[in-house]
Amino acid sequence: MKFLAARRRSPIVASSLLILALGATGAVYAAVASVQPAVAAVGAQTQVEDGKKLYLEGCSSCHGMQGQGAGTGPTLIGVGAASVDFQVSSGRMPLAAPGAQAVAKDPSYTPEEVAALSAYVASLAPGPAIPTAEQLDFADADVAEGGVLYRVNCAQCHQAAGQGGALTQGKYAPSLMEATPKEMYEAMITGPQSMPVFADSTLPEQDKKAIMAYITAMQEASSPGGLSLGRLGPVTEGLFVWTAVAAALVGAAVWIGIKAR
Amino acid sequence: MSTKAPAVPGSSPVDKAGGAAATFVDQRLGSNRFLARNLGKVFPDHWSFMLGEIVLYSFIVILLTGTYLTLFFKPSMVEVVYDGSYVPLKGVQMSEAYASTLDISFDVRGGLLIRQMHHWAALIFVAAMAVHAFRVFFTGAYRKPREFNWLVGVVLLTLALAAGFTGYSLPDDLLSGTGLQIIRGILQAIPVVGTWAAFLVFGGEYPGTDIISRLYSAHILLVPGLILAMVTVHLIMVWTQKHTQFPGPGRTNDNVVGYPLMPVYMAKAGGFFFVVFGIIALIGGLATINPIWIFGPYTPDQVTAGTQPDWYIGWLDGALRLMPNVESVVFGYTISWNVFIPSVVIPGILFTGMALYPFIEAWVTGDKREHNLLERPRNAPVRTGIGVMAIVFYGLLWIGGGNDLIATAFNLSINSISWTLRISLIVLPPIAFYVTKRICLGLQRRDREKLLHGYESGRILRLPHGEFIEVHEPLTVKEKAVIMSKVDHAPLPLPEKADADGVRNKWYRVKRLQSRLSGFFYGANIPRPTDAEIEAAQHHAGQDAALEAPLHAYEDADQIQAFHGGVLHHPGMPATNAEQASGSPSGH
């Protein structure tokens, strides 16, 4: 004790005691607070670990070892689970080939693997989370209101009927005819590729639901006028006139002309 | 063969009843002489002469269906809240015009069918007009004395575009509204008066509340009225000037060979009307056109990707899309060349050129004769080349109008498509002209060859001494008449600088230009063989025929005999066939 007593009034004592006290308080708090969610945390922790393994194998060559981005791929810090879920489960990532835009294809990862990857990227920094079932439930949404919102916010790129449209330099807004509600929601909150982000501040959740309801109604809509001709408007109509209809009419003229001989 | 239908004396009860009816009418209107004179009128026969009929018949369908639509359409821009049976738009604010179009589509009995028939018929109307114009152009049917009828046709085409565009905009949907927005931009791009012109048309700020009712009166009254008047003039001119005919045996510039109106053309034209009507009704019932419920109501703050006009305006849209972005500021005012040139200047040049073409060609060729016999496209290579060049130019603009859909459909970059088309617009039309001209001249050479030597029968004959020749068959009378119809025009001679008295020729430079152009127009033509050449060639062909005769004899006789040299030197067989052997090694 002589050693301590001798140095009782040393200038570093006060700060050392403060650090010790803070450390002890933190340790006690941690011990008490972590008792309850320990099991869940272990599960999440392994998912993140799995995700990290998958990430290092399949993604890090472009997005960097820590998701910080590299010359070929953007940073993933802060993009959130929703973005990873959208890009990977729609098959856009991993990229099939470098090009103007990632092309949707059959996904390369199972849903569990996608969840693991999403968890890992979400663990890097907070970002938009995968929408909950409640967020995707648009049963009560107003379809007509969704149509108005769709035409204001979406139609200029995705076309009035959701058939998609061209953007510059080979980029494009894809057709929405195969999109699931989850994909629509995730696309709106993460803004993949050329698409802007429609955060809740610009497009409240209720509006998102209305838009999902409208697009789904368009997907399921029958074609009351007969053959839909791709719902692409006058170009396919003109093509139809100049091919099938022209052939029928000129054919009839030739036929009548021949009969007279 | 220009005969009238033989008058059959009325003997059956039906004839008697018909005769009585005709007499009843004739005693009141004096119509029998008129009918007798006109029902027997002879028209030449060719399937391509029916393309114009498609135009007329689709116009009739348009008038009938359009009348039905006016019963339900409300040309008003008053805002209403939709409460019809199309659920995805229920409760949405829209103009009455759009709401009533939705009602026609979903709540009026037969409304959608009639609407679709009306729109399809409109597309067919203009398409058939274009194809009819091709026929008239490429056969030279517009030449004297029919230049005015060509002009009427060009006016009709313009009116058809106007009719189509005014109708396209009436439903006030998002697609057509975007088109109107472009029209406004085009109006504004006209230097000096643009802004005022746009205000005048829209009755104030865009979009205002007047435009739909104004388009409506133009669409259902003004433009169709003018079209009807012009169609009448068009047909009266065809009637009085008589229809042109293709060359053939017995057909000359001064006769019309064909069938009488009654009964042949009454039946054919009547039947064809129902065929056209039937096809339009069929596609009206089976294929969607302009699904305005998908596009939604128009508001100026909205726009949809993939906005295109109907096909016949597509080339103008394409010109607009392909034009590089050029503007200049003059005295503080912006001149939008990027809009003005593709939307006003280019169509202005094309339509003026089209209207004046018959007069330009007549001046260039110095041809003042009347032409009732059509010219085969190959026999006017420059005209055919110009036509193909115009079609290629138009087609490239047309593709440009759909550049975004082509980009998405074929995974291409819209920028590369635009640049490819910009370069092609300058490079391809001249190539098309040159290639077409060469093809025409090649066909002329072939015609000359056929006239002189007959056509290649594909039958190879081995002569007893080992030489192979191909037997040429003589042309049929019809083929010969068609080829012989070619008229060899001489290019205009170079003018004299001064006349015999030494007076300077005031028009020397103009005349020299005319002479050079006519040299360009006719200079390369392959002359039709002279009668002497044909005579000489026929003598030769006779030898060919003589060659064949023993062949048939061999077939009956013992074939081996020929190989044993029995008939090597039969009479009439030439020692060598100079024409055929010239390219092949002689067999001995």
pLDDT value, residue A76: 92
- Across the range B315-329, mean pLDDT stands at 93
Beta carbon pairs, A and B, within 8 Å = 203
Q: Where in chain A is the domain with CATH 1.10.760.10?
A: 46-130
Test A241 with B311 for CB contact under 8 angstroms: yes
The answer to whether position B234 is within a domain reads yes
Pick the CATH number of A46-130 from 3.50.50.60, 1.10.10.10, 1.20.1370.20, 1.10.760.10: 1.10.760.10
Token look-up 């993949």 returns A192
Residues of B numbered 264-283 whose beta carbons fall under 8 angstroms of chain A's beta carbons: which are they? 264, 268, 271-272, 275-276, 279, 283
- Between B359 and B498, the more confident residue is B359
Does residue B502 form part of some domain?
A: no
List the one residue out of B320, B421, B284, B275 whose CA is nearest residue A237. Answer: B284
Task: Note whether B304 and B178 are within 8 A (CB).
Answer: yes
Q: What digits encode the pLDDT tens for the residues A2-39?
A: 666 667 777 777 788 888 888 888 887 777 665 554 55
A158: nearest CA partner in chain B: B305
- Residues in A closer than 8 angstroms to B310, CB to CB, are 234, 237-238
Give the residue numbers spanning the domain of B541: 455-480+532-588
Could you tell me if B150 and B285 lie in one domain? Answer: yes
pLDDT for residue B237 is more than 90: yes
Question: Looking at residue B495, what is its pLDDT?
Answer: 84
- Range 198-217 of A in CB contact (< 8 A) with B: 214, 217
Residue-wise pLDDT for B484-517, tens only, equals: 888 888 888 888 888 788 888 888 888 889 989 9
DSSP string of A115-162, one letter each residue: HHHHHHHHHHS--PPPPPTTTT--TTS-HHHHHHHHHHHTHHHH-TTS
Which amino acid makes up residue B185? G
Residue B506 has what pLDDT? 82
Query: Is A222 touching B (CB cutoff 8 A)?
Result: no
pLDDT reported for residue A203: 92
For the segment A127-141, the average pLDDT, to the nearest whole number, is: 91
Question: What average pLDDT does this structure show over B46-62?
Answer: 94
Structural tokens at position B84: 């019809």
Task: Tell me the residues of chain B between 39 and 78 that have a Cβ less than 8 Å away from chain A.
Answer: 45-48, 50-51, 53-54
Q: What is the pLDDT at residue B193?
A: 92
In the structure encoding, which two tokens stand for residue A193, read together? 């590729």
Distances (CA, A) of B179 to B115, B166, B341: 20, 10, 18
Both B476 and B342 in one domain: the answer is no
The span from the CA of B137 to the CA of B354, in Å, is 10
What is the mean predicted confidence (pLDDT) over B422-436? 97
- Between B61 and B505, where is the model more confident? B61
Interface check for B308 against chain A (CB to CB < 8 A): the answer is yes
H-helix segments, B323-413: 337-340, 346-365, 381-401, 403-409
Q: Looking at beta carbons, which residues of chain B come within 8 Å of A238?
A: 123, 310-311, 314
- Could B289 and A252 be called an inter-chain contact, meaning their C-beta atoms sit closer than 8 Å? no
> Of A36-45, B27-36, B141-150, B553-562, where does mean pLDDT reach its minimum?
B553-562
- State mean pLDDT over B446-474: 87
The C-alpha angle B408, B411, B417, rounded to 5 degrees, equals 80
pLDDT for residue A28: 78
- Residue A116, pLDDT score: 93
Is residue B141 packed enough to be buried (19+ CB in 10 Å), middle (13-18) or exposed (0-12)?
buried
Q: Which of B59-73, B101-115, B511-525 has the lowest mean pLDDT?
A: B511-525
Three-class DSSP category at B366: coil
| Number of domains forming the structure of chain B | 2
Of B341, B360, B379, the position where a domain reaches its end is B360
- In this complex, the residue of B90, B295, B402 whose CB is nearest that of residue A144 is B90
| Contact residues on chain A for B174, CB-CB shorter than 8 A | 151, 155, 160
The beta-carbon neighbor of A173 closest among B296, B305, B403 is: B305
Residues B460 and B493: beta-carbon distance below 8 Å: no
Cβ distance B414 to A170 less than 8 Å, yes or no, reads yes
Confidence at residue B552, expressed as pLDDT on a 0 to 100 scale: 47
- Which residue among A160, A226, A254 places its CB closest to the CB of B285? A226
Report, as an integer, the average pLDDT of B337-351. Answer: 93
- Burial of B162 by CB count in 10 Å (0-12 exposed, 13-18 middle, 19+ buried)? middle
More confident residue, B329 or A16: B329
The whole-number pLDDT of residue A2 equals 66
pLDDT at B73: 96
> Which of B276, B351, B235 is closest to B124 using CA atoms?
B276
Which residues in chain B are contacts of A164 at CB distance < 8 A?
305, 408
pLDDT for A105-123, tens place per residue? 899 999 999 999 999 999 9
Six token digits for residue B115: 């609407």
Average pLDDT over residues B289-308: 91
Q: What is the CATH number of domain A132-234?
A: 1.10.760
List Cβ neighbours of B476 (8 Å cut-off, separation of 6 or more).
Answer: none
User: Within an 8 Å CB–CB cutoff, is residue A195 touching chain B?
Assistant: no
Q: What is the pLDDT of residues A33-90, one digit of tens each?
A: 655 545 555 667 788 989 999 999 989 988 988 888 887 888 999 899 999 999 999 9
pLDDT given at position B6: 46
pLDDT at residue B558 tops 50: no
CB-based contact A231:B308 (threshold 8 Å): no
pLDDT higher than 80, residue B61:
yes
What per-residue confidence (pLDDT) applies to A35? 53
Could B91 and A144 be called an inter-chain contact, meaning their C-beta atoms sit closer than 8 Å? yes
Please report, for residues B51, B144, B229, B418, B431, the alpha-carbon distance to residue A254 in angstroms, rounded to integers and kept in the order given: 10, 28, 29, 38, 31
Higher-confidence position of B85 and B473: B85
Cα gap A51→A48, rounded to integer Å: 5
State the burial class of residue A171 (Cβ atoms within 10 Å of its Cβ: 0-12, 13-18, 19+): middle
Tokens of B532: 């002497």
The answer to whether residue A143 neighbours chain B at the CB level (below 8 Å) is yes
Joined together, the tokens standing for residue B7 give 């008058």
Q: What percent of chain B has pLDDT over 70?
A: 90
Contacts of A241 (CB under 8 A, 6+ apart): B120, B123, B124, B127, B311
Q: Does A136 touch chain B (CB under 8 A)?
A: no
DSSP B423-469: HHHHHHHHHHHHHHHHHHHHHHHHHHHHHHH-EEEEEEEE-TTS-EE
Give yes or no for residue B159 having a pLDDT over 90: yes
Mean pLDDT (chain B, rounded): 86
* Cα separation, B104 vs B442, whole angstroms: 56
Residue B243 φ then ψ, to 5°: -75, 145
Position B111 pLDDT exceeds 90: yes
In tens, the pLDDT along A166-208 reads 999 989 999 999 999 999 999 999 999 899 999 999 999 999 9
- Residues 85 through 104 of chain A touching chain B, CB cutoff 8 Å: 100
Contact A159/B at CB under 8 A = yes
What's the rounded mean pLDDT across residues B387-403?
95
Does B436 fall in a domain?
Answer: no
Assembly ipTM: 0.83
Query: Residue A134: exposed, middle, or buried by beta-carbon count in 10 A (0-12, 13-18, 19+)?
Result: exposed
More confidently predicted of B553 and A161? A161
CA-CA distance, B251 to B58, in Å (whole number)? 31
> pLDDT at position B259, please?
83
Over residues B96-102, mean pLDDT: 96
User: What pLDDT does A27 receive?
Assistant: 81
Rg (CA), chain A: 29
- CATH code for the domain of B89: 1.20.810.10
The verdict on A44 touching B (C-beta cutoff 8 Å) is: no
- For residue B107, tell me if it sits in a domain: yes
